[in-house]
Structure formats: C-alpha cells, structure tokens
Amino acid sequence: MDKKVLRILGIVLLIGIVVAGSSLGYVIGYTRGMSSKQSWRSGDWGKLDEALFAIEQYYLEETEREKIIEGALYGLVGSLDDPYSEYLSIEDLVDMQIQLGNDYQGIGVEVTMENNRVTVVMPFAGSPAQEAGLLPGDQIVEVNGVNIEGLPLTEAVKDIRGEAGTEVTLGIIREGLPSIFQVTIKRATIERSSVEVEMLPDGIGYLVLTQFAESSGKEFAQGIRELKKQGMKGLVLDLRDNPGGYLDVAAEIGRQIVPKGLIVYTEDRNGKRTGEYTSSLRDRGFPMVVLINENSASASEIIAGALKDNNVPVIGATSYGKGTVQSSYELGDGSYVKLTTNKFFTPKGKEIQGNGVTPDYPVPMDMVNRLPNLYFLGTQELGSEALHIYQLQAMLEALGYEVKATGIYDQATADAVAAFQGANKLSPTGKLDRETTDVLNQRWEKYTRDSDAQLQKAVEVLSQLIQGN
C-alpha cells in the first residue's frame, strides 16, 4: 500500500489549537511513497536495539516501549537541526489537520521558533492572547511552570492548546522587562476570517490577507468582488505578518491576481525541478501594490515574489525568507516524519530561502505601530502588574505622554493616564477605567493609521499607477 506524503509550507503554529502556518503554516499536498530500498540495514539499528533492551531490562522504573520509541523518533529527526523537520505523532497530525480551519479552541496566537524559543508572531484580534496583552516578539519559555526552551515547536506548544474555558499559565520574556513575566490566559473558541477589506479614498481598495487557510481562496475572491462593487480602481494587498499556509491555497489566490505564467516552482536537493504552479489569468482588471514585512513568510512570499516578478510594486520590509517545502511521510502506525525536501523559487528563479522578497520601496516601521487596541480587564490602580499594562504604557508613550513601559501601574503611569483623561475631557482620576480605555483605543486607531508609513507609501505608489492608466 502506498504511503501518503503531505506537502507542507509555512513557519508558524497557530496555537488554538491551531498549529497552522507560525502559527501554523502547515500545508498539505502531494503523495509519494518510500521504497524498501530506502530502509536501513538491520545492522544500522544495533545500538538502538541495545539501548532499548537495556532500558526495558534494567531501568529502575516501569517503562512504556511506545513512549520510548516516540522519544527516539523525536530525537532522530531533531538531530537534523532543521526547525521545519520533525516527527509528528498521530496526536500531532490530528492537530495539524485542524489547524488551518477558521474555527478552533485555544488562546489565538501565531508563533514561530526563534533561537530555540517559541516566539509570538501576532495575537489574533479579539483573542484571549490579545486580551492578556501578548505582543509580537514575546518569547514563551514556560507553560504551567515547565520550561519549554529547546523543544521542537509542535512539542513545545502542546500544553498551550486546550479546551475553551480552561486556563494556561505562560512564562513570557519580553524586551524591556527585567524577568520572566507570568500570565494566565483562559482559552476560548477562536473564530477567524482570513480576509479583511476596506475602501480607502480615491477608489483604493485595501485587502488584508492574514493567512492561507482552507477557505482563504474563496474569501479572497469575495473580498475582491466587494471592493469592485464599491468602485475599486486599484488594490493594496497587505501581506504583513502573514505566516503562510497551504501551498494549494497560495496557488489558488495567485491565479486570481498573477498574470498568465508561472506562480512558483520547486526544486529538490539536486536542483531538479519537482513542481510548478501556473496562472492562466489574462487581465487582472486593476493595478495593485503589495505590502510585506519581516513576518511575511512562506506562502506570502510566493505571492509577493510572483507579483514582483510581474512588475507589481512591493512596499515595506524584506520578508522572512522561508522558502522551503516540507513533505510528511506516513509511518506504519499512521504517524509521520516531516522533512524539508524542496526549495521554492519565484517565476524568474529567485530563491526565497534565506533571502526573502526584497521590497521595491523599502519603508521602515516602528514596532509600536503594530500594537493592537487595548482590552479592558478591570480598573487598574497603583501597583497592578500585567502585560496589558506594558501595552498601555507603550501606547501612551507613543502618543506623547511621559511614561516608560515597565508592566507596572506606577505613579508615572497614573499621571500619564490622568493627563490623557484631562486632554480628552474625561475625569482625571489616573485610573484606567472602561471609558478611558475606549477613548484611548479611538485615539490609537487614528494614530496607527496616520503613522503607518508603509501603507501611506503603498497608497502613494498605487495612486500614481491609477493615474497612469
């Protein structure tokens, strides 16, 4: 019987459950079997057999053979020192197949592995992770008091997932905070759309694509239709912080906007071309530009690279540089070994792996501009300590108030809150109440939009293209 092989892209786990592309970026695709000629000679297993025998015969405690073998498999693939190759148990596989759906249970955050630490790419809007104050760049080093540094990504996040209504305590390292910060998050059912659209002035359509999930192709098409109905003259496609997803979905979206020809092709370790994805689109019907940043990865880079090779301007920062494809080989019990097997290239042959997509218009962006709206978690008074207080302080500092981000609601924070309240016709109590939070978020939305230099440049470039048509 042929053994299945899953074709995989992406860098992230969507902890939700979401192991999906960060957060997960896992991608499912083609099938291939392993012949018996590829199996090891029996003698190659000598030391492993001897070690297993010794453990079962002499180890002080009772052992479970299945658990020992699972551990050996994790170690076997881990020895490759490749963050994208790993052993997937049956439990891992079930999680992976759930992950790129739009509904799941968990804390709602995209993560990747950086320097052997689970690192937050982006919390989802409205998720428990965002409410708790998790921010891009946060490093999760403990789960319920257990250190997870150095573990494979899927293994490290197992205990972060869980049923809605249950709680998990994370140990967070954040730049600027002196020690590990503990935060308890209540898991919930996460509903997430991949596409958000908005009509900007002068006929400019704005479409944000957050991931390449199962339904993203249809959502993308619907978003384009909505913008066209509103009189769209040109499109800004925002792929910033998009960690990737299904390769087939990337191709599906590519066929809607990439001109006739190659979208992407793959090569194996010998440089042999192993796959091609093409478009038959003759006329997109509108000019467009693309926004990317350092967290745009995998499938996002396929789309950005294909469009750039077809003279669509790319604006922002050089993308992540995740240009490999993983194939997962089914083992006898239904578990899988996921291995990096191919690299992908843009239509003009540019290698993404380690290089990323370079923007035509490089525009830096301050990290503070990526802070989401602040969630109200009860009135904050002097001495309170929480991650979302750190966010409050960062927002107030960006808005021009004298306060430093420490995560502690100190007197300087109370004074800054009182000053903000006074400037916005609120009672200057110095306490962060719901009304103050709502007004702060209104000011923050305007500030981030007005100071989004990358989006402003995209609108400027697209306006010139529209005028030239």
CA distance 317 to 307: 16
Clarify whether residues 15 and 131 are in a common domain.
Answer: no
SS3 174: coil
Q: Is 16 inside any structural domain? A: yes
pTM of the model: 0.80
Clarify whether residues 242 and 349 are in a common domain.
Answer: yes
**454 carries an active-site annotation:** no
Clarify whether residues 120 and 257 are in a common domain.
Answer: no
Q: Is 329 inside any structural domain? A: no
Q: Is 168 inside any structural domain? A: yes
Give the pLDDT band of residue 379 (cuts 50, 70, 90).
confident
Which of 140, 164, 190 is at the close of a domain? 190
Which of 190, 214, 247 is at the close of a domain? 190
Our CA dihedral for 84, 87, 88, 92, rounded to 10 degrees, sits at -80
Each residue's pLDDT tens digit, 289-334: 999 999 899 999 999 999 999 999 999 999 999 999 888 788 888 8
Considering only residues 19 and 76, tell me which one the structure prediction assigns the higher pLDDT: 76
Q: Is 57 inside any structural domain? A: yes
Clarify whether residues 218 and 186 are in a common domain.
Answer: no
Each residue's pLDDT tens digit, 343-366: 999 999 999 999 999 999 999 988
SS3 87: strand
E-strand ranges in 211-287 read 234-238, 261-267, 273-279
DSSP character at residue 240:
T
Residues with Cβ within 8 Å of residue 48, at least 6 apart in sequence: 72
Domain CATH for 408: 1.10.101.10
Catalytic position from the list 326, 328, 380, 454 = 326
The pLDDT > 90 percentage for the chain reads 56
Clarify whether residues 245 and 314 are in a common domain.
Answer: yes
Clarify whether residues 386 and 272 are in a common domain.
Answer: no
Asked which of 80-89, 143-152, 247-256, 340-349 is least confident by mean pLDDT, the reply is 80-89
Give the pLDDT band of residue 158 (cuts 50, 70, 90).
confident
**335 carries an active-site annotation:** no
E-strand ranges in 107-247 read 109-114, 117-123, 139-143, 146-147, 167-173, 181-186, 188-191, 195-200, 204-209, 234-238
Residues with Cβ within 8 Å of residue 96, at least 6 apart in sequence: 19, 20, 24, 26, 88, 154
Mean pLDDT of 105-134: 85
Clarify whether residues 299 and 208 are in a common domain.
Answer: yes
Tokens representing residue 290 in the block: 């693309």
Neighbour tally for 142: CB within 10 Å: 16
Clarify whether residues 313 and 217 are in a common domain.
Answer: yes
The overall average pLDDT reported for the chain is 86
Residue 380 has pLDDT above 90, yes or no: no
pLDDT of residue 388: 87
Give the DSSP H/E element, type plus range, for residue 14.
strand 13-15
Biggest alpha carbon–alpha carbon distance for the chain: 80
**421 carries an active-site annotation:** no
Mean pLDDT of 239-257: 93
Helices 65-78 and 46-58 pack at an angle, to 10 degrees, of 140
Considering only residues 35 and 216, tell me which one the structure prediction assigns the higher pLDDT: 216
Provide the number of structural domains found in the chain: 4
Each residue's pLDDT tens digit, 15-72: 442 333 332 233 333 333 444 444 445 556 788 888 889 999 999 999 999 889 888 8
Domain that holds residue 178: 109-190
Each residue's pLDDT tens digit, 396-448: 999 999 999 999 999 999 999 999 999 999 999 999 999 999 999 999 999 99
Catalytic position from the list 322, 338, 343, 457 = 322
Clarify whether residues 211 and 251 are in a common domain.
Answer: yes
Query: 243-256 burial string, b = 16+ CB within 10 Å, else e?
Result: bbbbbbbbbbbbbe
Clarify whether residues 78 and 91 are in a common domain.
Answer: yes
Q: Is 328 inside any structural domain? A: no
Catalytic position from the list 22, 298, 327, 393 = 298
CA distances for 32 relative to 29, 80, 189, 335, 421, angstroms: 10, 21, 35, 15, 63
Clarify whether residues 133 and 281 are in a common domain.
Answer: no
What are the residues facing 262 on neighbouring strands?
A: 278
